[in-house]
Amino acid sequence: MKSLFDLIRFLLVLSAFGLIPHLVLAEDAPLKLTIDATAEGKPISPDLIGVFYEDLSYAADGGLYAELIQNRSFEFGPADHEGWNALTGWDVIKPEEGRARVIIDTGLPIDPNNPHYAVLGVAAAGETVGLRNYGYDGIALKAGAAYGFSAFAIQLADAPGPLRVALEDADGEVLAETTLPPATGRWEKYEATLTPDADCDDARLIVTASHPGRLGLDMVSLFPADTFRGHPNGLRPDLAQAVADLKPRFVRFPGGCLVHGDGLDNIYHWKHTVGPVERRKTQRNIWNYHQSFGLGYYEYFRWCEDMDAEPMPIVAAGVTCQNSGAGVSRRWGQGQRAIPTEDMPAYVQDVLDLIEFANGPTDSKWGAVRAEMGHPEPFGLKYLGVGNEDRITDEFAERFEMIFDAVREKHPEVTVIGTSGPWPDGEDYDRGWALIRQLGVALVDEHSYKPPQWFWDNLDRFDDHDRDGAKVYLGEWAAHDDGRRPTLRAALAEAAYLTSLERNGDVVVMSSYAPLFAKRGHTHWNPDLIYFDNQRFYPTISYHVQKLFGHHAGDEYLGQVDGVDVAQTQLASSVVRDRQTGDVIIKLVNAEPDAAAVDVTLAGADGFAGEATLLTLAGDDLDRTNAAGAPDPVLPEETRVSVDEHFSLTLPPHSFSVVRLHRPPGVH
């Protein structure tokens, strides 16, 4: 290197190839950000960041719901998935010769809602007959951890004998075993704890009888003792915690298309999802598998409470999904179906009953069910979504109005959220908004699944929104990059859009990225916020964006970087204040391939001078994803920056930066 000039040229070349990502290339004048830390800001909704939860891509069964046994109640069938039957997930264990067998019966069920059960028929002494379950792609076990086994059993004929229960690895090595006492002549629940002596990612559960006779078996279950917050019938702790770590202000549930269902017989009925699990009425999942409803409305409300998040149930607006039939060939083209008018009063009552289940006193019918399940205190429901991205037909409008009127009259304390159809524009969007205005609905659910560039092009979408009309809930949204990959490009577009939502946080009062979860190998929709398998979870870069916004939210908007031409430059920003701590938070998105410099002038800087926290999410390549096994995931890095009346920030190429200026205690 002969001269300083050569050195600079060398550094510029390295930087152009992303090898010195933090070098400020721009010879342009630095961007200017002026913050008046003493000014009063524009209000931002405290509930801006929430989550959208739907049992899609095995998010519940095989995912968040900690049950390890697939098809525990023998209710799977071809309606759930082509080729499935009551023994899907199970292998029959029986001698090659002889009359021993396992059948599925329906003559004497535990409950009519749960009609199928297995019958183990041991024909002669010395025969072993039973069932082997593979869980969801194998059962992942940890050595020394406790697992709660339970099953309902009934002795149907002959003298009862003990039942052997074991956990085995794929080679048949026993990891844990126990014996249950002989069953009686009526359905009873039997429980035991199994503690495997080795880790195993691919275990099986074995239940066998060796005593001549016929034994009925149902609700064969295996739960880790370690569930989120230790609840029985609880949630997988790592996945539930991953959501809690987002600091969601609300949780939308149960979808999504799952809400309005694939045909009239597939609408989500909340009453099927509460009470003892053996009495819940399972059904086909619109995403082509089975819903056990083990994670039902009670478990959902409890999860919200654990996370200090508002529940936001969504109920069907008396119509089905307009795409009904899309996944099941015989129903192709069925389209939106409406609950017959004469059945609507009962349906409306169901909706009111859900509010009573959440909020009613323990001497009310549904409040008593909640109390019986273990939660006498009300859950404090404040929001109820009616409809999920429906086509805004006359049938829809008529039924929506019936539900809206009834909730408004009986539960004025609950805010009803309407829908503006599947897209952020077009006929349904316009008709949806017209209906919202006509009825005086306070909050509207709008959906935007769009390419990253759409979000950059729409940063001003809400700037001129009517401030006096209904507020917006951006209920499902995500940037869909080419191939629907969860790229850094998508995540940065989302971060930029979120800065625009903060700027318009007086009108866009809630938002939830969708979908939340997808199990690897069972993913029906991409991209998702969190991918997982039986052992681990893989948060996408979008997850980290949501988390940074969730943790560094503000309730007052103070401004943005001056004079950025978003048509020319992919730079976005927002400055907010968190009134509770007094902290000022600067968010800066630079999706450009070059670094950018920002000169900050901080009026009223006294209290903030010193060091601020800087969190940076950056990657050398916009195509980067945090896919499972990615050697070098894109993660936020925390450092410190010096802050004074004037200070400079360098935004690395392809980055999202959050600067938190800490208000010292006692300084106002």
Q: Which residues bind ligand AHR (CB under 6 A)?
A: 54, 56, 255-257, 388-389, 476, 514-515, 525
Q: How far is the CB of 257 from ligand AHR (least distance, A)?
A: 4
Nearest to 180 by CA among 241, 130, 246: 130
Q: How far is the CB of 67 from ligand AHR (least distance, A)?
A: 22
Q: How far is the CB of 629 from ligand AHR (least distance, A)?
A: 25
CB-wise, 190 or 423, nearer to ligand AHR?
A: 423
What count of other Cβ atoms lies within 10 Å of the Cβ of residue 134? 18
Which SS3 state, helix, strand or coil, does residue 660 take? strand
How far is residue 478's CA from residue 435's CA, in Å, rounded to a whole number? 26
Kindly state the tokens that stand for 153. Answer: 């059993």
Q: How far is the CB of 323 from ligand AHR (least distance, A)?
A: 8
Rama region for 494: left / alpha / beta (φ>0; ψ in -120 to 50; rest): alpha
Distance of CA 358 to CAs 32, 84, 316, 368, 563, Å? 49, 35, 17, 10, 48
Cβ-proximal residue to ligand AHR, closest one: 256
CB-wise, 213 or 515, nearer to ligand AHR?
A: 515
Provide the sign of the torsion angle of the four alpha carbons 291, 293, 297, 301, taken in this order. Answer: negative
Q: How far is the CB of 201 from ligand AHR (least distance, A)?
A: 29
Q: Catalytic site residue 389?
A: yes
Nearest to 125 by CA among 253, 212, 218, 25: 212
Cα 163–chain centre separation? 38
How far is residue 196's CA from residue 180's CA, in Å, rounded to a whole number? 17
Helix 297-307 vs helix 237-244: crossing angle, to nearest 10: 50
CB-wise, 64 or 118, nearer to ligand AHR?
A: 64
The answer to whether the beta carbons of residues 319 and 399 sit under 8 Å apart is: yes
Q: How far is the CB of 56 from ligand AHR (least distance, A)?
A: 6
Nearest to 573 by CA among 472, 659, 448: 659
How far is residue 586's CA from residue 574's CA, in Å, rounded to a whole number? 6
DSSP 48: -
**Residue 114: strand pairing partners:** 111
Which phi and psi angles does 654 have, rounded to 5°? 50, 60
Residues 540/545/546/548 CA torsion (nearest 10 deg): 130
Residue positions counted in the chain: 668
CB-wise, 54 or 169, nearer to ligand AHR?
A: 54
CB-wise, 388 or 534, nearer to ligand AHR?
A: 388
**Residue 164: strand pairing partners:** 179, 208
Kindly state the tokens that stand for 263. Answer: 């045909």
CB-wise, 176 or 286, nearer to ligand AHR?
A: 286
Q: DSSP characters for 186-233? A: S-EEEEEEE--SS-EEEEEEEEEE-SSEEEEEEEEEEEES--GGG-TT
Q: For 324-351, give one letter per residue: b (16+ CB within 10 A) or e.
A: bbbbbeeeeebbbbbbeeeebeebbebb
Q: Which helix (H) or strand (E) holds 353?
A: helix 344-359
How far is residue 186's CA from residue 464's CA, in Å, rounded to a whole number? 67
CB-wise, 285 or 570, nearer to ligand AHR?
A: 285
CB-wise, 454 or 525, nearer to ligand AHR?
A: 525
Q: How far is the CB of 300 from ligand AHR (least distance, A)?
A: 16
CB-wise, 109 or 261, nearer to ligand AHR?
A: 261
Kindly state the tokens that stand for 621. Answer: 């390549």
CB-wise, 255 or 313, nearer to ligand AHR?
A: 255
Task: Say which of 67, 168, 389, 446 is annotated catalytic.
Answer: 389
**Active-site positions?**
389
